Chains A and B, each alone.
Chain A
Amino acid sequence: MKKSRSALMKQYALTIGLIGFLCFQYFSPTATLHWLMNNLIEQNLGLMFDRSKAITQDQKSQIKLGSNYFYLNTIKNTTPEDAIILFPDSETFKFEHDQISFSNEINIKGWASYFVYPRKIVYEREKNVNELYSQISHVAIVNGWGYHKLNYQVDQQIPFSVLAKNR
């Protein structure tokens, strides 16, 4: 009886130790448990289970990837699958507009192409090295850049769009 009681006491002591360790993890800003309780459960579960806050897959991507996703998704939705799209150089993307600011990933072809596939992207900087440059079918209008690449005049020039190269 005495032995089993002692074993029980040890078990409870160990469990209290474990709970103490888990509490320490909870208050440690870089621990899994802290992140889990403060970020994942508090912020994400509200979104996941609150029907009034239900969002689409596109909205989720936009929350996480910002303007890059919004812009690339717009291009995907407004161009045919076989489109070859001219993108400006990184300097044009760097210019901060009132509403839209891009992160550097949009200048990486492999990254940007993921969102518009099977459409192809050609950057202005590839003018002399990529043979697809001569086959461009669309121009990405970024911060007002790109209208001069079109074979026709556009009366109302908006800062962000994607337009066919030929009318």
Chain B
Amino acid sequence: MLIILLIFIFLIGYLLIVPFNLFNVLETLGLSFPIGLGLWSFSLFIINLVGIPINSRLLCVGLSIFLGFLVIGASHIFKSNAGFNLWANALDIFRRIRLSLSTFVWNPFYATSLLAACIIIFAICLKAQYWPIINYDSIYGYDFLAKVIAHEGSYINSIFDKSNQLYSVRSLYPPLPVHGFFIGHLFNAGHAKFIPILFLLSTMCLLYGLSLRKGHHITAVWAVLLLCLTPEFMGQSALIASNPISAFYILMAYGLFFHFMQDNRNGLLYVSLLGLSMAIWTRTEAIIFCVPMGLILLRSSEKIKRITLLVFAALIPFISWQLYLKFGIQAPKEQPILMHLQTDFEKLSRMLSQIWTMVCSTKFYAYTFILLFLSVFTNLIFFKKATQLHALSFMLILSFILYVFVYYQIDTDYIVFNKSGWIGSGFKRGVFYFIPIGCMYISYSVLTRMILLPASGFLQKEPIGNIDKQK
């Protein structure tokens, strides 16, 4: 029954995105499960809100079937031009993967990179599924809450009992990851590590698909390999944590938004905004990522309609969860964030120094951030030739600044730098937001195209940075 539920959740997302007829094979595979889980989680939240216990297997499976039919109905109402021949679409996907791989698999660089990436992903998945949950944040956070919901049937449960409080800050994050982990406990699967595994596989598929869309198999596999070689990200992906999940949704939001800027296809924008909503439904601080998107949309056509959609996509999950925290869970207002603007430059300097040490550490992120900084730098040097990357560069830089600003506003002095501090713990995993999308950015960067493509024997004479012409 667990497998059936996971398949139905996958189908919800699949049925939602296939009618757009905009996504390549790997994007479809990568997007389906996370979109399905996001919609399922939001529906489960509403069901719980009206007072129905959610710890019924039949209810969970029934809800996924209902959502599947709802999505099919919605696509008929909006007169989608793509048919719903599920088997034909599935067969087509596998045929296209075979064709696509047969063309490139004989390139030695491609084959080596793909093999290395596959070995790493396989080993991480194996490790995740084999070992039980041991990390502190899961035990005293997400997985405990998931376990209690599966037992008591409600999000408001004995963890939040005022006479015997058992919650941590992690119990107050939005419910998407917890709803995912809850499936494992509801179906007595031992643990819910299959959720991070499915997200890891989805991240890899989507990253490859997005990097391939206007790029090349060589650069796409490079992006995937780079992500696989990022120790902290891969290590956390084998644990029950919300950071890799939110990193997936930011890849979905920003990656598709980047392609929307190139192609001006509304479908890409809609699914991108769905990704943003789900990122906020995973961790509320992801709301900062809507700011660069909004600023870019200000310069687009139909800006009123698009910005309205963006505002709704960002505010619905954010406000719903804040209201639920306040009136449902009745969580205390002990927020470490200062609500007034600080002007402590010494604190800023200490914090930036710690951040710089952290992101440049090959121990945590290998060469991913170093390559990302180099890519941004070369794209600025070749500013006029890499016009398509301006929007994505702006989005990444601004969102990083905003993210750093959030940490600046935390009520601490940043004098001590240790592994349990704000930078050594929270920020270290928080920057996962930028890793998968950063790998996609690196794959499209002038740097990669200047060195990797010519060296791999492809497209030597193409203009640097003009990504449309290089396809």
Contacts and interface: CB of A to CB of B under 8 A. Distances in A.
B109 A109 contact: no
A108 interface: yes
A44 B127 contact: yes
A37 to B, nearest CB: 9
Contacts of B159: 110
A48 B132 CA distance: 13
Contact of B123 (A40, A57, A65, A118): A40
Contacts of B158: 118
Contact of A36 (B108, B109, B120, B136): B120
Contact of A32 (B139, B228, B457, B460): B228
A31 interface: yes
The 5 closest A-B pairs by CB, nearest first: A7-B457, A30-B363, A15-B108, A32-B231, A64-B134
Nearest to A113: B166
B229 A31 contact: yes
Contact of B108 (A12, A22, A108): A12
B62 interface: no
Given A10-B456, A31-B231, A32-B228, A18 B147 contact: no
Interface in A28-52: 28, 30-33, 35-36, 40-41, 44-45, 47-48
Contacts of A124: none
B166 to A, nearest CB: 5
B113 interface: yes
B112 interface: yes
A112 to B, nearest CB: 9
B412 interface: no
A14 B166 contact: no
Contact of B457 (A8, A108, A122): A8
B109 A18 contact: yes
Contacts of B134: 61, 64-65
A117 B457 contact: no
Interface size class of B (residues with CB under 8 A): 35 or more
Interface string A105-143: 100111101110110101000000011100000000000
A11 B455 CA distance: 6
Given A18-B113, A35-B235, 5 more contacts: A31-B366, A33-B120, A44-B130, A45-B126, A114-B140
A14 B127 contact: no
Contact of B109 (A15, A60, A105, A110): A15
B463 interface: no
Contacts of A64: 131-132, 134
Nearest to B455: A14
Contact of A30 (B136, B231, B455): B231
Interface in B442-471: 452, 454-457, 460
Contacts of B147: 114, 117
Contacts of B328: none
Contacts, number: 112
Contacts of B112: 15, 18-19, 22
6 contacts: A32-B228, A32-B230, A32-B235, A40-B123, A109-B166, A111-B139
A33 B456 contact: no
A132 B164 contact: yes
| Residue among A35, A117, A130 with max Cβ neighbours from chain B (10 Å) | A117
Contacts of B366: 25, 31-32
A158 interface: no
Contact of B132 (A7, A41, A44, A57): A57
A132 B109 contact: no
Contacts of B457: 7-8, 10-11
Nearest to A131: B163
Contact of B231 (A12, A35, A60, A109): A35
A118 B164 contact: no
Given A11-B108, A12-B108, A25-B366, A32 B234 contact: yes
B362 A30 contact: yes
Nearest to B143: A114
Contact of B151 (A10, A11, A32, A118): A118
A13 B454 CA distance: 12
A25 B140 CA distance: 34
A61 B366 CA distance: 30
| Residue among B148, B166, B235 with max Cβ neighbours from chain A (10 Å) | B166
Interface string B189-233: 010000000000000000000000000000000000000111100
B140 A110 contact: yes
B181 interface: no
A10 B459 CA distance: 12
B455 A10 contact: yes
Contacts of A118: 151, 158
B191 to A, nearest CB: 8
B229 A130 contact: no
| Residue among A11, A12, A105, A115 with max Cβ neighbours from chain B (10 Å) | A11
B248 interface: no
B377 interface: no
